[in-house]
Chains A and B, each alone.
Chain A
């Protein structure tokens, strides 16, 4: 199946059909999600209106972790099968992933100030999330740090795989150690501890971010494929 999708021409055909769909889903889900999150959902019994930050914070955190998982899978495909499209996929997802991590950190900080009484603490959850952000930055620096882009692919993909160990640490940090950050409200064994009226805007926002991410990844990958063709042509030109 991977070989089937890894053909760049086929890739372009499929994504050209997919792109308008995900853009549309994203636009609708963002409009609905933001309306639900900021106007049509109840205030929390303890946090009051501050709870609305969660509708950005939590989906962004999910996306930051999902993006990293997808990049790591792409890194395996690149390192083992050596397919350039997997490398391009990982590169395409890095900036959106870093963006999701940054949004998570910033919104968390804005939420922490009124609720906890501090912008930042070095507890296990916050620190491991900051490390995820740095992993994205490190990946981008390593992948783009060479004259010929392809030379950075292998070390950057290795960095991605080493960083995978951080993902279970982020997810389970709140269960394994005492942290200031609360435990999971949605993805937990005994069902969500979040009211359905608040879960709905959260899930719509997650769908909005996911579809936006797919659209951005398709566009980025198409751009990188073109870029690589241009530099290959230029290389051939200078040889002849």
Chain B
């Protein structure tokens, strides 16, 4: 250390401080991983949330699952392996439809999720309407209707 120039000493000190702080932030984020997520999927939610606690449940709206109930609208949220029935009374976002990704906020009531808010999740695909129609015509459409 004694032979180093002041420049090099400052550089090394800086590197050490910044990497120590970076490591600290990484450890904090790793420890908080379960809390940083914005929502749980249907597979995790039963483990992560207790009855009556306000949580968010996210996933795809299952095909042919949207029904009108006496106390609102019912639909099923699925992540492909697991699914959960949701009941919701309120305004739905424009993008809400079967096959669409949604994030709902509410409470677990036995095996039903009672939502008091529904948000649509938009995916990262951007496509002109004409291209989407063309893909549908050609039968190679992979997205939702």
Q: Do A and B bind each other?
A: yes
Q: Which residues of A contact B41 (CB under 8 A)?
A: 178
CB distance from A30 to the nearest CB of B (A): 21
Choice from B18, B120, B121, B128 contacting A161 with Cβ under 8 Å: B18
A47 and B122 in contact, given A178-B39, A179-B38, A195-B131 (Cβ under 8 angstroms)? yes
Chain A interface, DSSP helix/strand/loop, else mixed: loop
CB distance from A197 to the nearest CB of B (A): 6
A69 at the interface (CB under 8 A from B): no
Assess the B93–A44 pair: CB atoms within 8 A. no
Task: Please measure, in the bound complex, the distance between the C-alpha atom of A195 and the C-alpha atom of B91, giving whole angstroms.
Answer: 31
B70, CB-defined interface residue at 8 Å: no
Chain A residues positioned under 8 Å from B38 (CB to CB) = 121-124, 177-180
Smallest CB separation, A72 vs chain B (Å):
10
Q: Determine if B71 is an interface residue (Cβ-Cβ < 8 Å).
A: no
Q: How far, in angstroms, from A193 to B124 measured CA to CA in the complex?
A: 7
Measured as residues with beta carbon below 8 angstroms from the partner, the interface class of chain B is: 35 or more
Within 8 A of B (CB), among A104-124: 114-118, 121-124
Q: How many residues of A contact B (CB 8 A)?
A: 43
Residues of chain B within 8 A of A76, CB atoms compared: 14
Q: How far is the CA of A44 from the CA of B130 in the complex (A)?
A: 9
Residues of B bordering A, CB below 8 Å: 7, 10-11, 14, 17-18, 21-22, 25-26, 29, 33, 36-41, 58, 91-95, 103, 118-133
- 19 residue pairs of the A-B complex, CB under 8 angstroms, read A45-B132, A47-B122, A79-B10, A80-B11, A114-B94, A121-B119, A124-B37, A162-B21, A177-B38, A178-B40, A180-B38, A180-B103, A183-B124, A185-B125, A188-B124, A193-B126, A194-B124, A194-B126, A198-B128
